[in-house]
Copies of this chain bind each other. A is one copy, B any other.
Amino acid sequence: MRENQLRSLWRAGHAATCCWLTIPSAFTAELMAHAGFDSLTIDLQHGLIGYETAVSMLQAISTTPVTPLARVPWNEPGIIMKLLDAGAAGIICPMINSRQEAEAFVAACRYPPAGQRSYGPRRAMLYAGADYPEHANAYVLAIAMIETASALAQIDEILDVPGLDAIYVGPADLSLALGVAQRVDQDDPIMVAALDRILQAARRRGIPAGLHTGSAAFAAQMFARGWQLATVQTDAAFLEFGAQTALSQLRGSAAVQRSGPY
Point out residues on A near B: beta carbons under 8 Å. 5, 14-17, 19, 22-28, 30-32, 34-38, 45-53, 55-56, 59-60, 62-67, 72-74, 76-79, 81-82, 85-86, 94-95, 111-113, 116, 118-123, 126-127, 133, 147-149, 170, 172-173, 176-177, 179, 182, 215-217, 219-220, 223-224, 230, 232-233, 235-247, 249-250, 252-256, 258, 260-262
Contact = CB atoms under 8 A, between A and B. Distances in A.
A30 B59 CA distance: 8
Contacts of A26: 26, 55-56, 59
A97 to B, nearest CB: 9
Given A31-B236, A62-B63, A116 B95 contact: yes
A27 B29 CA distance: 14
B63 A59 contact: yes
B118 A36 contact: no
18 contacts: A19-B246, A23-B23, A31-B240, A46-B119, A46-B121, A46-B122, A56-B56, A63-B126, A73-B81, A74-B76, A95-B118, A111-B176, A112-B148, A118-B173, A220-B253, A230-B250, A233-B246, A242-B242
A90 to B, nearest CB: 15
A35 to B, nearest CB: 4
Contact of A258 (B14, B53, B215, B241): B14
Contacts of A63: 59, 62-63, 126-127
Contact of A17 (B14, B36, B247, B262): B247
Given A147-B118, A223-B256, A253-B224, A239 B31 contact: yes
Given A37-B243, A112-B177, 11 more contacts: A17-B250, A22-B122, A23-B28, A26-B59, A28-B236, A52-B53, A56-B59, A63-B63, A78-B79, A220-B255, A241-B241
A64 B261 contact: yes
B126 A34 contact: yes
B50 A120 contact: no
